[in-house]
Amino acid sequence: MGRFGLALDPEVTKSLKERSDLVVTDLRTIAVQGLVSPDHLAPLAEGKALLAWHARHRFCANCGAQTRMTQAGWKRECPSCKVEHFPRTDPVVIMLAVHGDKCLLGRAGRFVANMWSCLAGFVEPGESIEEAARRETLEEAGIVCGEGKYFRSQPWPFPMSLMIGCHARATNSNITVDREELEDARWFTREETALMFVGQHPEGISIPPPIAIAHHIIRAWVEKGDGVFT
């Protein structure tokens, strides 16, 4: 079955939201609330990422001329210098630092109330996944990590990232929070982290929903403990 994506002008979107016969919403809400079957989510994410790329790359990075869309949206070509431009994907490490029977979770200002999650950050040029995970954990929380283990990945079209999930073994426990990146960061035991999955944490703390890879990174550690490194 063919699927097609179309970018709408903000004014058009506004008028559509006023119609009672339509439900106009965003991709994050669709995924979190399960408004479509799971097999539609990947194409929706694909379409959103591609539309965002086209909106931000209308001009050639080589000569500045306006480019044109080709290959059904999978490429942009410059008619002036003939350079071809392809959709980009930004690699992001998202990791759970572990120290003994505790894991490190952080809270960013953009999170919903009481939600804590794994630390994350973009991979820089010349870095390996392991190096990026160690650097981001050190920069955001002052925690030094040694051994790291890849978990799994997830496309995250906000706007065009690939989340690379990892577990990392911390070698110290004294947290120094980068307040420009996080509101706070703290250690949680496996026992209290398990309570977050069933909505019974004494402070009402929650973790990201199952649509997010962070949910599964944390769950794997709660269920396997040190076994996530084997």
Q: Which CATH number fits domain 90-224: 3.40.50.80, 3.40.980.10, 3.40.50.2000, 3.90.79.10?
A: 3.90.79.10
User: Quick one: pLDDT band at residue 3, thresholds 50, 70, 90?
Assistant: confident
Maximum Cα interatomic distance, the chain, rounded to a whole number of Å: 62
* Residues 134-160: tens digit of each pLDDT: 999 999 999 999 999 999 999 999 889
Per domain, the residue ranges of the chain are 8-56, 57-88, 90-224
Mutual angle of helices 213-224 and 190-197, in 10-degree steps: 130
Q: Is 89 helix (H, G, I), strand (E, B) or coil?
A: coil
Q: Is 140 helix (H, G, I), strand (E, B) or coil?
A: helix
Does residue 32 have a pLDDT over 90? no
Q: What φ, ψ does residue 167 adopt, rounded to 5°?
A: -115, 145
Does residue 65 have a pLDDT over 90? yes
The model's pTM is 0.90
* Residues 83-105: tens digit of each pLDDT: 999 999 999 999 999 999 999 99
| Per-residue tokens: 42 | 């990947």
| Per-residue tokens: 230 | 């084997």
**CA 21 and chain centroid, separation:** 32
Percentage of the chain beyond pLDDT 70 is 100
Mean pLDDT throughout 30-46? 89
Does residue 64 have a pLDDT over 90? yes
User: Quick one: pLDDT band at residue 204, thresholds 50, 70, 90?
Assistant: very high
> Are 102 and 187 within 8 A, CB to CB?
yes
- Distance, in Å, from the CA atom of 110 to the CA atom of 126, rounded to the nearest integer, reads 29
Q: Any idea what DSSP says for residue 111? A: S
Please list the residues that pair with 122 across neighbouring strands.
92
